[in-house]
Structure 1
């Protein structure tokens, strides 16, 4: 349905649209163009894919996207657009629970979109882990604790062993 609407709109711009061997006035032609564009926009809205995430912090999300080399445009504190290397645009928008959801309309397969969102989420969790680790180490110093050892496990978790100082 979309290719027909695009083709019809493209054809109308070239000359006068002829229907049943009679010419259509410019006003009628404009109405048809508007109707086709509205139908095209409705079909695009129906193709919108939503992906729920667990991401809440817009600064960390922005940092994650930049670290991955994607272009990001901040629309406001609750919305940002990401331009992927395949030319698709992912809109991250906060939902009613203050959690970002990824909205994608075009060009990528479901698998590609899931891959992008997963990649961004993995980077996001890495940054959250780094920031949490840094805050924890600062608090350890402020209290009577000594960091005896730290170990990074296979799943990139960090195990800290602390000693209470007198």
Structure 2
């Protein structure tokens, strides 16, 4: 994946997540953002810089936590748990970034393709009100599918 394509995708996803948050927050949705610099150095700034960037450029109002690892031996315990509960779902073959992302991973991070670990930024997990991990959405999952999962979890119409 080229740097520009990765940046474009981040822009799109941040905007889509904020839109989803605004639509469902009054029904109980919380979005928790966990920046990670393990994916081609996409989050090089300090915690404060990352948070400010997201708020200024994308209008993000959901909570953004400190940067940390989401894969490997230093993965935060939360992400160890999430990936144990919901394994890798595969990339959506119809998504326009799937071919590019798969190629970039094979060429630059082949070990990332192994097992159930998080493969790339913007992997999303849906956790219900009781703390059960009910779904995992890979970065190539359409936001409409994420929204349908959220609506079902919150028992509302999308």
Normalising by the residue count of structure 1, what TM-score does the alignment of the two structures yield? 0.21
The structure whose Rg is larger is 1
User: Greater strand share, 1 or 2?
Assistant: 1
Q: What TM-score results when the alignment is normalised by the length of structure 2? A: 0.22
Structure ranking higher on relative contact order (CA contacts 8 Å, 6+ apart): 2
